[in-house]
Structure formats: structure tokens, C-alpha cells
Homo-oligomer: A and B are copies of this chain.
């Protein structure tokens, strides 16, 4: 049953052996290194799941998205993925076709194929673990740890939407007066992250360091700085916000710093040397990816977040620590 539903997702990848074996065979494209990343998404922790086909599809799409997002951040081209599916302890699996459909949509959006995996019956809810494999030309992967003082901080897209979308899903009070259109936009940003595949080439060519924003911009920036042995100044008013989030901030329904530390953005944070900034921006524009300069890397350790007046903002919660 599982094999029948998922085998079509291996089309185009002969080494998947149509899911008839315990392993997949993969050749690294000539002259390239492989980039591997792995993320587990657990029901009620990383996604909402009511047993519906729609939420199964959203969960699958997100599980693939967060892994592809990690590949993008390393400037890798997606190649294949392995999927481990932990089924809920009880209940029907009528939603399995929806799960496969969510993966199919992600595969189509990001040119990646199912290579193999495992299915087990768990003791709790649904859990999805994806190991994604991408490739980069030798020695061109962009790491977290090479940010240098003077580099400009760049983010793609807009920040805080997914965080707000989760609150909309949970019917939080602050979000009750949004228009239907705005509410749907934010929910979609939470349920259907869109890795910025278009930025791969620009990152590979120009960036010193990059990572995707999964646990909150401020927390993830701190991690980049720690790995690189540097600090950063983040100029909060320059962080791009979508119209609904800007309006919520303007109306003081939410604080700017909450939006900046909400997480689940799956946008890219990159450090780009100042002399490469113009070319990076041009490459991003050419790829149709919106970017914004939001600060810079400094030699002094630690991250300061400054507001309109140039003073540091007080941050109560920097992001989402899954083990916190």
C-alpha cells in the first residue's frame, strides 16, 4: 500500500529502484560534492494534523520544504530525498494519498525526487523525517561559519508571516481582526513554506555565509555569528515585512521584535561582502527573489538589534529553541 502510493514519486530516479529494495543507489553528479540535511517534523510540535487529506498534504509539503530550504542555504541544487514515515498509533490512514500529493507538489516545485525510506507504526501521532540530498560544485557550499566583519546581512522575502500564520490557525486574539485575505495569506505562509531556490546561484557566487531562518531571525543570526566567531548589528526597521504584518505592528497588535523572532520563515539569511553586494542584488533580481539589506557583521561578539532611533531594542524571546 505504502509502496504503491509512494513509488510514483521516484519517477526520474532509477536508483530509487521503485522502492522495491531496502536502499537507493545514487551517483554524485560529475565534479560535485553532495550536501545532506535531515529534519524531523512531529505532529502538534511542527505541524497541525487533524487526519484530513489537506493537512496531510500540508505536512508533507512542509517536511520537504524545510529540508530543501537547508539545501538552498548551502547553495546546493536539490537532487533526491529519503523519507521516513512514522504512522500514528491508531486511526485510519485515508490521508496517505494526501501526504503523497504534498510530496509530489514539493518535488515539482523544487526538482527533487524520492529515493527511498522507511515506514513504521509509532506510538503517538504522525511524524515525518526527511533526509534531503543536494549537490554543489566542489568546494562551493556556503557554510554558516564564514561570515566576516564588514559583510552585509541580507534576508530574502518577508519575515514573521509564518509565525503570525500559526497564531491565526490557533485563533489568537491579536489576529482576530485580519481580513480573510490577509488571514489566508499568513496561514499559507505557515503551512506552505516556499524555499527560495532562485537564490542558490547568487549565494554560491557571492555569499560568505548563509543559513535558512527556521527558529527566528534573531536566534538564527546569533547562531551564524557564534559559528563564525563574529557579531552583528541587525537594523530592525529594515527587516522586510509583508503588508499584513506591517499593519499589525503599526496597530500595535504585535511587536516588531516578536515578528522578527517568530521563526518558521524559511527565508535565507546571508552575509555578503560589501564589494559583492551590487552583483548579489542584481543576481537576486534576475532570479526574481526579493532581498533586503538588514544589517552587518561586526568583529565584536554578540548580536544587537537596533530600532529607528539607533538604540538597541530589548528582546525578550530571540526565537524558537526546540529543546528549550
Within 8 A of B (CB), among A106-124: 115-124
Q: Judge whether A211 is part of the interface by a CB distance below 8 angstroms.
A: yes
For the complex, give the distance between the alpha carbons of A70 and B38 in Å.
19
Q: Judge whether A145 is part of the interface by a CB distance below 8 angstroms.
A: yes
Q: Judge whether A259 is part of the interface by a CB distance below 8 angstroms.
A: no
A145: chain B residues at CB < 8 Å are: 17, 20-21
Q: Contact check, B84 vs A39: say whether CB atoms are below 8 A apart.
A: yes
Q: Judge whether A167 is part of the interface by a CB distance below 8 angstroms.
A: no
Q: Judge whether A86 is part of the interface by a CB distance below 8 angstroms.
A: yes
Q: Judge whether A28 is part of the interface by a CB distance below 8 angstroms.
A: yes
What is the total number of copies of this protein in its complex? 2
Task: Flag the segment in A71-79, A245-253, A287-295 that touches B.
Answer: A71-79
A54: chain B residues at CB < 8 Å are: none
**Size of interface on A: residues with Cβ below 8 Å to B:** 63
A25: chain B residues at CB < 8 Å are: 33-35, 74, 136, 141
Q: Contact check, A26 vs B33: say whether CB atoms are below 8 A apart.
A: yes
Q: Judge whether A158 is part of the interface by a CB distance below 8 angstroms.
A: no
**Residue from B21, B23, B41 within 8 A of A227 (CB atoms):** B21
For the complex, give the distance between the alpha carbons of A196 and B125 in Å.
34
Q: Contact check, A45 vs B121: say whether CB atoms are below 8 A apart.
A: yes
Q: Contact check, B84 vs A123: say whether CB atoms are below 8 A apart.
A: no
Q: Judge whether A10 is part of the interface by a CB distance below 8 angstroms.
A: no
Q: Judge whether A243 is part of the interface by a CB distance below 8 angstroms.
A: no
